[in-house]
Structure 1
Amino acid sequence: MRDIDVRMALHAKLAVDHADEMDDTLVVDELGLCGEVRVDVAVINGALTGFELKSARDNLKRLPKQVEIYSQVLDFAELVVADNHQKEAIAIIPKWWGVTVALASKGDGVRLEAVREPRMNRSIDTRSLAQLLWRDEALEELEIRAADRGVRSKPRWAVWGRLTEVVEVDELRDVVRNRLKTRATWRADALSVRGA
């Protein structure tokens, strides 16, 4: 079982799960977080959900760092893990993360079995969340709130910092999701499916 097999099975499941939300759901492969890690598959709709894939051929060396960064930004996180890594991986991830086991099925297929449903992340770091916005997006949000004075010519870090000072976490979650969903341009290899 390879990563691509697990990814294809997950995309098929997401297409079914979000079939009635086509206008409000964006599925993105390899969404970068904090310049340090990439979420294997992200679903952006009324929440920001990230899926970390660990196939049978993968190892778990990077999982603790991925957990750390995902937990700063994502509303929901889910580990999709091959059965050979299940026990060890569950010991690494927080209780609010969901777990789905990827099992080999006939041929080259993969069957996904939910083991634990994800719960809402209650410890978002606003600074890390704001980093999902491009500088011009964050600056536009400050302009809307008449809070852009003094940071218009500053680097993106200052713009993100100001945004976290003037926008509460729940509103920032909405801002980031809406900006991500309405972006006109994504890296060509990142955008996978509009409407799952």
Structure 2
Amino acid sequence: MKLNDQEIRAALKIKLQGQSSKPKAIIEELQVCNGNAIADVVALYTEAHCYEIKGSGDKVERVLTQGRYYNSSFRKITLVTTENHLEKALSICPIFWGIMVAVDDGANNLRLRHVRGAKTNPEFCKELALLTLWKSEMLSILDEQKHKRKPRDFLAQLISSNKKKIELSNSICDLLVSRELEKIVC
């Protein structure tokens, strides 16, 4: 059976919500690096974990282009794909990316199995990761309104020069959780 993004995405969200350490929120279709890429699913724990989905009919090679943006924006990244793409995925994905495989057990039950766990991404770029945030969210990190007329790129540079990677990653995650919670309330 050919598995598509929608089927894999639904199974992934169920799996993430069923873990002992549940994410605070899950975002679908998150724009990163000023919209240069769109992360399929992002699980928000203390840090954001990006999940890129490639179904049976997708071109797994696209992760080479998308991956540059994900590598800049997330400290944890996992490709979720199908068995027909596994060999290619293992050869082209960076070693720090996790890889999961979606398998149909024949009874219309979709299982996701870990092939390789995600490791901390050494290519994470604080300044580019900040471009996932809205300008108002960046200003809240600065906690100063004197920069409100400055462009997002300037704010990203200013914030990244004053924060450590882990601290900044946590702040970005917290702001994305707040954004998702506001959607639920509205």
Unaligned runs of 5+ in 2: none
For 1:7, the equivalent position in structure 2 comes to: 9
- Segments of 4+ moved more than 3 angstroms: none
Deviation at 1:78, TM superposition (A): 0.7
What amino acid maps onto 1:3 in structure 2?
A: D
Deviation at 1:172, TM superposition (A): 1.0
Alignment partners' CA distance in 1, 2:58 and 2:109: 17
Alignment partners' CA distance in 1, 2:167 and 2:112: 34
Counterparts of 1:152-163 in structure 2, within 5 Å, are 152-163=148-159
Percent identical residues: 26
Alignment partners' CA distance in 1, 2:174 and 2:13: 22
For 1:99, the equivalent position in structure 2 comes to: 99
Alignment partners' CA distance in 1, 2:55 and 2:4: 6
Q: Is the 8 A contact 1:78 1:100 kept in 2?
A: yes
Alignment partners' CA distance in 2, 1:91 and 1:45: 28
Q: Is the 8 A contact 1:5 1:108 kept in 2?
A: no
1:113 aligns to what SS in structure 2? strand
Deviates more, 1:73-82 or 1:104-113: 104-113
Counterparts of 1:66-85 in structure 2, within 5 Å, are 66-85=66-85
Matched, 1:167 2:167: no
What amino acid maps onto 2:14 in structure 1?
A: A
Count how many residue pairs are aligned between Structure 1 and Structure 2.
180
Deviation at 1:105, TM superposition (A): 2.2
TM-score when scaled to structure 2? 0.88
What amino acid maps onto 1:74 in structure 2?
A: F
2:143 aligns to what SS in structure 1? helix
Higher helix share: 2
Deviation at 1:107, TM superposition (A): 4.2
TM-score when scaled to structure 1? 0.84
1:62 aligns to what SS in structure 2? helix
Unaligned runs of 5+ in 1: 189-196
Counterparts of 1:128-143 in structure 2, within 5 Å, are 128-143=128-143
Deviation at 1:53, TM superposition (A): 0.8
Deviation at 1:61, TM superposition (A): 3.8
Alignment partners' CA distance in 1, 2:94 and 2:73: 14
For 2:31, the equivalent position in structure 1 comes to: 32
